Structure 1
């Protein structure tokens, strides 16, 4: 059997809060295979976003081990983690995190430039076309709707063709129609590029479009369900 793209073993996370130390994650064991799409669901405060951040090395596990593409993220320093994310991961945030002083094209091209791609702007333009925003390439985030900004963020995350795509409530700020459209793009582009997708969402109907749904409760995995094959 091939090795998982992501493998978490007995992962815990403790963070300092206003009232002292808080236990966020408790003994998480989870394997994600190459090309698999995972929907993380659960009530607010269950640890979904924290688990996603630990998977991306954006939050360091307090104990346990996080392997990504066979590399131990828990053993890397911040510089090594940043390089690993640059070369292998795309992250899509609910709040978009676009650079307001850059056009859509520049926002998408930036990670490609940082990765040393000489054709960064050509690839960025093709990616914007892929998400239906070719005509908006020279517009700034403030000139675009929420749905358009999220499509730019999605294009930016996928332009470097990452092995792993992490999406934290990517449809949370959007209405139903725009949310469904972003989910269509997310799954379609992930499938096209062969990226492994882990998606945090409050919407069960979106999570159920993934290959597997993982439910969290109180920082623990509370159950898993594979998508039923079509008849």
Structure 2
């Protein structure tokens, strides 16, 4: 069941990670991706996640979205303990709670912009799926592009379609992984301005992975990852790994 911002208890974080470790197997042996992450993000905050490639940024976002299970530690998102959920329950939770914006858009090429935005709403059983999709596309300035296919849209228009899809169901949490990585500077700034505007207007919590220092500075808070640990400007030096069965 979807938990709205108003239904959540006052003071409860939108996202809480407690000693989260992630270890993945590789041909050379186990690799420690995350090494004891403690993180709390308040509802409605706009947070940038920065750090060098391979520091664990995308892995942390995958865990928040329930797309990757931690090796150890607790993950609570929008009041729900993700560790206790089955894969089916996680899929329903994502559908109702989390909107995701990818760098590569991930639009279905054989569907129009309207159909791309409507399809997750249809899966959710919304009888007004196409009306909501049309409204969402109009909100991002694509009301005149409803019947166009991704191949007929510019890169910026494709990313705005992806934004409309992420926001159409009014999820309380939006996750964006380098959403402007495939766009030129001016188009990227327009997309980011739009993302910030939609997040503020709807009161959504926005977590944004970026390598752009200027963009990170626009957020309420910046979380820096280095070597699978959080280094936050408000709490230096680097976070000390918590004790766990995973070898750091």
Q: TM-score, normalised on structure 2?
A: 0.89
Q: Which residue matches 1:215? A: 224
Q: Which residue matches 1:64? A: 73
Choose the corresponding residue for 2:169, options 160, 165, 178: 160
1:225 Cα deviation after fit = 5.1
Q: Which residue matches 1:43? A: 52
Distance 1:131 1:60 in 2: 33
Trace 1:1-231 onto structure 2 (pairs within 5 A). Answer: 2-224=11-233
Distance 1:75 1:22 in 2: 25
The 4+ residue runs of structure 1 with deviation greater than 4 A are none
1:104 Cα deviation after fit = 0.2
Contact 1:9 1:66 in 2 (8 A): yes
1:4 Cα deviation after fit = 0.3
* Structure 2: gaps (5+ residues): 1-9, 236-248
Change (3 A) 1:18 1:149: farther
Contact 1:214 1:225 in 2 (8 A): no
Distance 1:45 1:80 in 2: 29
CA RMSD of aligned residues (A): 1.2
SS at match of 2:88: helix
1:135 Cα deviation after fit = 1.1
Distance 1:187 1:179 in 2: 12
Q: What per-residue deviation string (whole Å, max 9, x for no partner) do you get for residues 130-149 of structure 1? A: 10111111011111111111
The more displaced of 86-95 and 17-26 is 17-26
Count of equivalent residues: 226
